[in-house]
Chains A and B, each alone.
Chain A
């Protein structure tokens, strides 16, 4: 069996599962976010009274943090009341940040866990060898009632990554290349394992970006086999590692395997209006940018703020461009502040937003007008995703976003980074 099958088998109380089978699994950690009051409605509509295991439930007030309409405020109020009444102690209120980064900061995800959140980017937790998957409100309500949910055991695709990243090229560029090559629906219903020698040199932040973005190829879940990098990171977060997770059996037959050699890869862009419409940045150099957006569960970690600070240190954002920066979490914000990145970016003209999902999904805090062009470190460039459907969104790495903020146009970040960056 593959590691992800072993996780489902364990969660289903079974010795084995087979691909395509539907199994009922006990969920180890269930997360709800503040977009989905429907979760509580569905819970009530199905006759739910007591949450099955409140200790396994995390409530995130992250997408509307802080509330900017009365309806949002009222929804958040209802969530807080629900947590109090149901004994859900893991209420991550509006000061905490984006769900996936908060789970990571607080060390709530361990290798081998089955993590289900009402958020499509729950694939992020594959970076820790967990089975993370997103569901809708009513599915999550079923977990609140029963502690369980059905899953179809997915086929597994392996993506082997090898080669050396050049200056100004990051995990985000790699995964955009993969999505552009394989397509936005290649991973639908499937698990995507990321493997290969490139991963050895990537930290947890970049591994999270890889797993996070597999959602944009439709993946049900992502998986990276935990190694010393993972264990060191988790140990630092004081995560209980008594159970080190699972491993894939030798000889497991993948449904498909693809190998990407990243040597010589240019920075990549997902061009309007789909995430698999991917191009080398060189084809779009000089395109004027109204807003550069750095943040989200895809591109708002300390390492992302660090590269932006490095590019903008002692310089200033282009006068024709807004640079909106949203640390992914309170933990990220504090660490970036301690390292001086926040001061550097504010001095350089960045506009900061409190840790949250903010403009990524076009709800508030930096949304776009018709005819504007944005470059973003987030994950999606669907029409209207960040505001008006007449805005154009280019998805890129945090380094490419910062370079565009500086120049006021799409620019290759390599010129600001040089060889040292390649030795990360």
Chain B
């Protein structure tokens, strides 16, 4: 988790719920590639056409509220999202994303500093956020040691495999 990552921002408002991130009609899917095709479908139908690996989501408060569906985290991760920055996150979504190795950073007021398409640079270790397009800067809350350990393992699944002495892929 050393060094900054860069990506293009998609920006949304407050209370983006899991039904908007991943509609209930597709919950019988499990293959991440199929799940990724419906990412953000109810809030932004253009998202799947435009998203590229390494892109970032910026949002207001309570991102990921609503149902417990892990699909909401799977779809963003599989669509290539590198990090989500928001005023706050709903708790089940938070756990799901971290478990999958998708970093979430709490960064108050970030949605006001970023426009869709801005290039962001984010340092997960320090929380430093730089908007390369506008020059604005912000600082996200540091991740807890517990969460950092999961992310550094690439998610909870590789972490548990390692703990159990099982081989970890790539």
A positions within 8 Å CB-CB of B: 22, 35-38, 41-42, 45-47, 63-64, 69, 71-72, 75, 118-120, 134-139, 142, 145, 150, 184-185, 188-189, 218, 220, 274, 276, 361-363, 367, 380, 382-385, 389
Contact = CB atoms under 8 A, between A and B. Distances in A.
A287 to B, nearest CB: 22
A142 B74 CA distance: 17
Contacts of B19: 361-362, 380, 382-385
12 contacts: A22-B146, A38-B30, A38-B71, A41-B30, A47-B161, A64-B28, A69-B28, A71-B28, A137-B70, A139-B96, A362-B23, A384-B42
Given A38-B30, A138-B156, 11 more contacts: A42-B157, A71-B29, A75-B28, A119-B68, A134-B68, A134-B92, A138-B70, A138-B96, A218-B90, A218-B91, A276-B15
B90 A188 contact: yes
Interface in B64-106: 65-71, 73-74, 88-92, 95-96, 99-100
Interface in B14-33: 14-15, 17, 19-20, 23-25, 27-30
Contacts of A119: 67-68
B28 A47 contact: no
A389 B28 contact: no
Contacts of A63: 27
Given A46-B157, A142-B160, A385-B24, A120 B67 contact: yes
Contact of B20 (A41, A361, A363, A384): A384
Contacts of B20: 382-384
Contact of A362 (B24, B62, B70, B161): B24
Interface of B: 14-15, 17, 19-20, 23-25, 27-30, 42-43, 61-62, 65-71, 73-74, 88-92, 95-96, 99-100, 144, 146, 156-157, 160-161, 164, 166
B131 to A, nearest CB: 25
Contacts of A41: 30
Nearest to A361: B24
B61 A185 contact: yes
A47 B160 contact: yes
Contacts of A150: 146
A389 B42 contact: yes
A46 B30 contact: no
Contacts of B157: 42, 45-46, 138
Contacts of A47: 160-161, 164, 166
Contacts of B24: 361-363, 385
A189 B161 contact: no
